[in-house]
Structure 1
Amino acid sequence: MKIKSYNLQQKLWIFLFTITLVSIVFAYSLSQVFYQKLYVDYVKENLELQVEQLASDYKGGPLTDTFRQQVEWLNSKTHGEMFVVNNPRELSACLPFEIDYETLISEEERQSLLAGKAVFKKGYEERFQRDIVAVIYPLLDNGRLEGIIYSYIPLTSMNEFTQDYTFVWFIAGFLFIALMFLVGVKVINFMVKPLKEMKKAAMKMARGDYSTVIDGSGRDEIGSLATAFNQMSQSIQEEDERKRDFLADISHELRTPLSYIKGYTQALLDGLVKTKEDERKYLKLISRETKKLQNLVQDLLDLTKLESNTFVINANPVAFAQFIEDYMEKYISILQDKKIKLKMDLSPEVIISGDEVRLEQIIQNILENALRYTEEDGTISLCLTKKGKNCILTIEDTGRGISEEHLAKITQRFYRVNKARSRFDGGTGIGLSIVEKLMELHNGHMTIESELHKGTKVIFVFPILDL
Structure 2
Amino acid sequence: MMFVLPLGIILLAGGMLYLLYQDEYLDRMGNRESDKLAAHRVERQFREMVSELPAEGSRQELREGIIAIAPQVEEEGYHLMVLDRQRVPVFSNCTELDEHLLGEETTPALFVGESSVYIFRSSNIVKYMFTYSGDDYHAIAILSRDLGGIEEDLNNITYIYRIRLILAGVLVFLLADFLLAYQLSRKLQNHLLALQEAAKEVKKGNLDISLPRHKELEEEVAQVYEAFEEMCGRLARSRAERLQYEESRRNMLAGISHDLRTPLTVISGYVQALLDGVASTKEQERRYLEKIHHRTDSMVQLVERLFLCSRLEMGEYPFSFVQTDFSHWLARAAEKLQKELGEEGEVRLSLPEGECPLLMDGTELYRVLQNLMGNARKYGGRPLVFSLVLERQGDKLRLTARDNGKGVAEENLERIFKVLFREEEARTDSAVKGSGLGLSIVRWIVEAHGGKAWAENRGGLAIVMDFPVKTRKESEKLD
- Structure 1 unmatched ranges of 5 or more: 1-18, 57-63, 76-83, 87-112, 124-132, 135-172
Matches of 1:447 and 1:246, distance apart in 2: 19
Per-residue deviation, 1:248: 0.8
Partner of 2:152 in structure 1?
A: 119
Match of 1:45 in 2: 26
Residues 384 and 403, structure 2, Cα contact 8 Å, conserved in 1: yes
Q: Runs of 5+ in structure 2 lacking a partner?
A: 40-65, 79-93, 97-145, 159-174, 280-284, 472-479
Distance in 1, matches of 2:295 and 2:427, equals 16
- Give the structure 1 partner of residue 252 of structure 2: 250
- Distance (Å, rounded) in 1 between the aligned partners of 2:349 and 2:307: 33
8 Å contact kept, 1:396–1:458: yes
User: C-alpha deviations, 1:120-160, integer Å up to 9, x for none?
Assistant: 1799xxxxxxxxx89xxxxxxxxxxxxxxxxxxxxxxxxxx
Which one of 379, 387, 390 corresponds to residue 384 of structure 1?
390
Instruction: Give the match for residue 238 of structure 2.
Output: 236
**Map of 1:39-438 to 2, 5 A cutoff?**
39-50=20-31, 70-74=73-77, 118-120=151-153, 194-205=194-205, 210=206, 213-216=208-211, 218=213, 221=222, 224=226, 228=230, 231-232=233-234, 234-260=236-262, 263=265, 272=275, 274=277, 275=279, 276-277=285-286, 278-305=288-315, 315-336=321-342, 339-347=344-352, 349-355=354-360, 356-386=362-392, 390-418=396-424, 425-438=432-445
State the distance in 1 between where 2:258 and 2:200 align: 43
TM-score of the aligned structures, taking structure 1 as reference length: 0.56
Q: Quick check: 1:390–1:464 contact (8 Å CA) kept in 2?
A: yes
Q: Percent identity?
A: 17
Q: CA deviation at 1:302?
A: 1.2
Structure 1 residue 448 and structure 2 residue 455: aligned? yes
Structure-2 change in CA distance of 1:33 and 1:462 (3 Å): closer
- Indicate if the aligned counterparts of 1:353 and 1:464 stay in contact, CA closer than 8 A: yes
CA offsets, 1:229-275, max 9 Å, x none? 66345423421321221211221233234434654665677664644
| Contact 2:376 2:384 (C-alpha < 8 Å) held by counterparts | no
**Given that residues 386 and 404 in structure 2 are in contact (C-alpha distance below 8 angstroms), is that contact kept between their aligned partners in structure 1?**
yes
| Number of aligned residue pairs | 340
TM-score (norm 2): 0.55
d(CA) in 1 for partners of 2:321 and 2:339? 30
SS in 2 for 1:118: helix
Conservation of the 8 A alpha-carbon contact between 2:408 and 2:426: no
**Contact 1:261–1:290 under 8 Å retained in 2:** no
Q: Displacement, 1:335?
A: 1.0
Task: Out of 388-397 and 321-330, give the one that drifted further.
Answer: 388-397
